[in-house]
Structure 1
């Protein structure tokens, strides 16, 4: 299926923007692959007192203290479970390294401009200001998230202070 999403130029290079596709409940989301540092299994984290529930805590990643956020809790998903499929996507965002907990990662897809539609005026799971658009791939609808904007919101100042604690 991933092969259908790729548009290949004559020189063999992929045309379009590449997204890492992950799942939260029944929804599929995409984030810019260039922001992704690595994908890891979920490990226990050190909880930080007096932080919102979606900030799971911090972990030591090769000497770097990385705050871990559970997007499932942030997006008000019910029945958040931690199992073998639960993964942490480690993101490198400018001067900040952050891990986000998701239900699973499915694949990397390349979407052309024609496959990306503008974000709707409303969204159920998160504010539209954090959406870059909707990716359409056959029957699949991918919610494309501006992860940097989402993780640069005011509440992320809490993450920074938690990581310093």
Structure 2
């Protein structure tokens, strides 16, 4: 790991298990309380289902499943982060929403040769902010352009 710096980015940070994840703040539309998600048959396991959102349908992703983290029941702190990715609104289940980081310097992650076949292609970089190590997710890799 190592490489060039990404300076001056803004992150929205959320927590899954005891790990911190960040996404580009510009992509975040809103944060809503967890609600019932309608399951869709024959979808990848990490797609939790869909929810109605402002006269549209929003696909909800469970990154715990995508990144092989232990399962957890939703509770009062669980949120759905609504983000705009490739002109689509998607939801991401978060254990809780943590903070907005206005400025950070992140390090890009050097992908391995088999990154296309691993979860590493979903990782844009990392950042150490305070005491927390944050994995920055590349949402565009989760939702390929149509």
Structure 2 gaps of 5+ residues are 1-6
For residues 120 and 24 of structure 1, what CA distance do their matches in structure 2 show? 23
For residues 65 and 33 of structure 1, what CA distance do their matches in structure 2 show? 22
Q: Does 1:105 align with 2:97?
A: yes
Cα distance per residue 1:62-121 (max 9 Å; x no partner):
210111111112211113221011110111113211111111110000234xx3122255
Match of 1:9 in 2: none
Q: Give the TM-score of the pair, scaled to structure 1.
A: 0.73
More helix by percentage: 1
Q: Give the TM-score of the pair, scaled to structure 2.
A: 0.82
Relative contact order, higher structure (CA 8 A, sep 6+): 2
Cα distance per residue 1:109-141 (max 9 Å; x no partner):
0234xx312225579xx7322222111223221
Contact 1:36–1:91 (CA<8 Å) still a contact in 2?
yes
Change in 2 beyond 3 A, CA 1:138/1:60: closer
For residues 31 and 116 of structure 1, what CA distance do their matches in structure 2 show? 12
For residues 22 and 28 of structure 1, what CA distance do their matches in structure 2 show? 6
Query: Larger radius of gyration, structure 1 or 2?
Result: 1
Match of 2:70 among 71, 78, 89: 78
Structure 1 gaps of 5+ residues are 1-14, 158-165
Corresponding residue pairs, total: 136
Match of 2:131 in 1: 139
More strand by percentage: 2
